[in-house]
Amino acid sequence: MIAIQHLTKRYGQTEVVRDFTLDMADGDAVALWGPNGAGKTTVVRCILGLVRYEGVITVDGLDALDRGKAVRARMGYVPQELSFYDEMTVDDLLDYSASLRGIGPDRVDEVAETVGLSEHLSKKVRELSGGLKQRLGLAAALLPDPQILLLDEPTSNLDAKARDSAIELLERLRHEGRTLLVTSHHIEEVGMLVDRVVAMEEGEISVICEPTDLAEKLGLRAWLHLILTNGSADRALTVLRDRGFNAKMNSRGVLVEVSAQGKGEAVAALQHAGVEIRDLEVWR
């Protein structure tokens, strides 16, 4: 469905994407994961034909540059932030997007319903919260009922509640069998949304794996923040340090450094020693 071969993109002398190769079949859900500046967004822009590049990108066998219009007709794109067309209403923006795709206005109500925007159709874009703007971007992308969705950092500007809601919506789209290509630097949401992660670093692919293996493959570590019952913090520190963990106290509990797969080990050690854990959270 999407075939990217030896993609290289240069800005002047700087290579922002280097020899990137990826094949996606119909129904695949893939995340491009990496820090800011890793080249994730550039790959998406290359697929859309928004930037010139070296290498070959085809979608359903069509070249992304030579047959750009036909390629874009097959996909929906959700930008990182919808910070334009502020004076247009939601309804007008969706109508405009639908007109550009040759789609009738009936479809606007349908997608507004799907993403939960029906009550906001008469609002101006500038009046929408970050979460609603994200839904608007998604609604515009869904207008042609595309098999392929490209999502650029779909949750980066959202608060926790809006992020949960967006992830739920994207999970639904994934289960409908659409092909998803998502860029993200949040390791947690990558795990929920896709079945393959392409980790990028300085424009190159560093790892391709399943989401559950990503942290382990990249040697990523996390901190477990443990909230304990009164008076048990000293005991917990002793137990954890005896087991070789790097542990320290903070104002609200105990912090313990763990590997991606080692969270359960620290918790089990404390439970075995009779230390009661009231709550815990993972900090990355």
Partner 1 sequence: MTSVALIDIAERPNLGTIGTIASKEIREAIHSRWFWLWTLAFTGLASFMAAVALPGSQVAGFGSFGRTAASLIALAQIIVPLMGLTLGAYSIAGQKENGALRFLLSHPISRTEAFWGTYIGLAASLAATVFGGFGVAGLITVSQGGGANAGSFIRIAILSWLLAVSMLGFGMLISTFTNRGSAALGTAIFAWLGLTFVGDLGVMGTSIATSMPTWGLLVTAVLNPTEAFRLASLTAFSGSLDVLGPAGRFAVDTFGDSLGWILFSVMTAWAVIPTVLAWWRFNRLGDL
Binding site for partner 1 (CB under 8 A): 11, 45, 48-52, 60, 66-70, 72-74, 77, 79-85, 87-88, 92, 96-97, 99-102, 140, 144-147, 176-178
- Cβ atoms of residues 19 and 185 within 8 Å: no
Nearer to partner 1, 93 or 218 (CB): 93
Q: How many CA atoms within 13 Å lie on the side-chain side of 35? A: 4
Q: Least CB distance from residue 17 to partner 1, whole Å?
A: 12
Q: Least CB distance from residue 74 to partner 1, whole Å?
A: 6
Nearer to partner 1, 96 or 223 (CB): 96
Nearer to partner 1, 45 or 225 (CB): 45
Q: Least CB distance from residue 176 to partner 1, whole Å?
A: 5
Provide Rg for the chain, Cα atoms. Answer: 22
Q: How many CA atoms within 13 Å lie on the side-chain side of 265? A: 12
Separation of first and last alpha carbons in the chain: 34
Nearer to partner 1, 137 or 211 (CB): 137
Residue of 154, 151, 178, 150 whose CA lies nearest to 166: 154
- Cβ atoms of residues 43 and 8 within 8 Å: no
Nearer to partner 1, 31 or 125 (CB): 125
Cα distance between residue 49 and residue 119, in whole Å: 34
> Residue 157: which H helix or E strand, with range?
none
Q: Least CB distance from residue 159 to partner 1, whole Å?
A: 21
Q: Least CB distance from residue 96 to partner 1, whole Å?
A: 5
